[in-house]
Structure 1
Amino acid sequence: MKTLLIYLFCIMPALVLAQNTKPDDRGYIVKVGDKAPDDFKLVLANGETTSLSKLKGKVVVLQFTASWCVVCRDEMPHLEKDVWQAYKDKGLMLIGVDRDEPLNVVQKFAKDMKITYPLALDPGADIFGRFADKKSGVTRNIVIDQQGKIAYLTRLYDEKEFKGMVAAIEKLLR
C-alpha cells in the first residue's frame, strides 16, 4: 500500500508533468486552451517591467523574436500595422520578447524595424522556454485571452496563419 501511495503522489505527477512538456511538431510545450504561465516578469527595453498577471483583462500577444531572425523581420511590419496599430486602443497588448540578446541590440532592433510596440528582454530564453522547447526557433506568436488562457499559436510567418491570428484577436476583443 505504501508503494502505491508513493507512486500516486510522487511518481505519477512527475510522469504527467514530463508528458505535458514534450514539444509538439512545432516546438511548443503549450497548446491552445492551456492557462498561460504568468509567474514571470517581462523587463521591457525602456526599463519598465510587467507580467502576464498584471496584463490580465487584456488580450496579450507575445511575439518571440530576435534581431538575427530574417522571418521575424518579415513579420514585424505586419504585427506593427495589422495588430498593434489596429488594436492597441481596444484592449490589446503586444510585446515582442527578444530571445537572448543584450539591451543595446534589442533597442537598435526596435529602431531599425520602426516598431512602436514594446520589446522585452529574455536572457537565457527563460520566458521562451515556458512556451516552447528552447531548442526550437523564434518567430512565433502566442495570443492569450483576457482570462489568461492561450487562444492562438503561430510558428514562422505564414500569411494564412497570420490572418487566422488577427481574426482570433478580433473575436476576443468583441
Structure 2
Amino acid sequence: MFQKLSKLKAICAIIMGLIGIQACAQDDYGYIVKVGEQAPDFETTTPEGTTMKLSDLKGKVVMLQFTASWCGVCRKEMPHIEADIWDKHKANPDFALYGVDLDEPAEKVEAFARQIPVSYPLLLDPQGGAFYKYAEKGAGVTRNVIIDKEGKIVFLTRLFKQEEFDQMKIVIDKLLKE
C-alpha cells in the first residue's frame, strides 16, 4: 500500500511540476479518479434542456465544479469561482467552466444560481451520474476538477481552501497559455 501511494504521489508531483505547481489532491479526498488519468466522459443537460457532453469539450481547458444548493461550503466557494475564474476567462474560447449540481431538479438549480449569484453555467446531475464517475459513493460535493486540452485530469480540489484555490487558478492560467 505504501509503495502504491508513494508512486501515486511521485506521478502527481511530476505532472504538477510540468506545469509549475507543487501540490496535488490529498489521498483522503474521496476521488476515484487521479491526476494524469483521462477524465471520465458524461452527458447531461442544463436546466433549460441543452445537452452537454464532456468529450465535446476536448481541446479546451475545462473546470468542473461539483456543487449542490444545500452545500454551505459550495455557497462560500462559488462567488470566488465567479469573480476569480469565470469573469477572467469566460471570453476565452479555449476555456469552459460548468457547475455540476448533484441530484437536484432544474427549478432548484436555477434558483440556486440566482441566489449566489453566479453566471457560469450549471448542469443537472440526476442521481449523481456524473459525480459518481469522479468521487466515491457518499463523498461530499464542493470539489473541482481541472482538465487539460487533451482531456486529462491535472488538478483536483476538495472543500474550499484558499491556498489550494489559488494554486488551481495558477494551473488554469498556465494551461490556457499552452
Q: Same fold (TM over 0.5)?
A: yes
1:95 corresponds to:
98
Give the deviation of 1:42 after TM superposition: 2.3
CA distance in 2, matches of 1:104, 1:124: 16
Q: TM-score of the superposition, structure 1-length normalised?
A: 0.84
The residue that corresponds to 1:84 in the other structure is 86
Alpha-carbon distance in 2 for matches of 1:45, 1:61: 19
Q: How far is 1:92 from its partner?
A: 1.2
Instruction: Give the equivalent residue in structure 1 for 2:55.
Output: 53
Count of residues in Structure 1 that have an aligned counterpart in Structure 2: 150
Cα distance in 2 for residues equivalent to 1:53 and 1:29: 19
- Kindly state the Cα deviation for residue 46 of structure 1 after the two structures are TM-superposed: 2.4
Q: Does 1:120 align with 2:123?
A: yes
Q: CA deviation at 1:134?
A: 2.0
| Structure with greater Cα Rg | 1
Which digits, 9 at most, give the CA deviation of each residue in 1:54-79, with x for residues without a partner?
11111111100000100000000000
Aligned to 1:173: 176
Distance 2:119 2:148 in 1: 22
Distance 1:149 1:85 in 2: 24
Q: Any idea what SS the aligned residue of 1:50 has?
A: strand
Partner of 1:9: none
Q: Is the aligned partner of 1:106 residue 2:109? A: yes
**Conserved 8 A contact 1:97-1:119:** yes
Partner Cα separation in structure 2 for residue 173 and residue 101 of structure 1: 32
Alignment of 1:1-174 (within 5 A): 24-38=27-41, 40-90=42-92, 91-174=94-177
Q: Which amino acid aligns with 1:107?
A: E
Cα-to-partner distance string for 1:27-53 (whole Å, 9 max, x where unaligned):
000111000012x21211222111111
Instruction: Output the CA distance in 2 between the equivalents of 1:134 and 1:63.
Output: 17
Query: Aligned partners of 1:159, 1:71: CA distance in 2, in Å?
Result: 12
CA distance in 2, matches of 1:46, 1:59: 24
Tell me what 1:18 maps to.
Answer: none
How far apart are residue 25 of structure 1 and its match? 1.2
Does the CA contact (< 8 Å) of 1:58 and 1:92 recur in 2?
Answer: yes
Q: Secondary structure at the match of 1:101?
A: coil
Q: Once superposed, what is the RMSD of the aligned Cα atoms?
A: 0.8
Q: 1:104-163 CA distances to partner (integer Å, 9 max, x unpaired)?
A: 100100111111100001111111000000211000000001100001000000000000
Instruction: Provide the C-alpha distance between the structure 1 equivalents of 2:78 and 2:64, rounded to a whole number of angstroms.
Output: 12
Distance in 2 of aligned mates of 1:27 and 1:53:
23
Structure 2 gap segments, 5+ residues each: 1-26
TM-score (norm 2): 0.82
Structure 1 residue runs of 5 or longer lacking an equivalent are 1-23
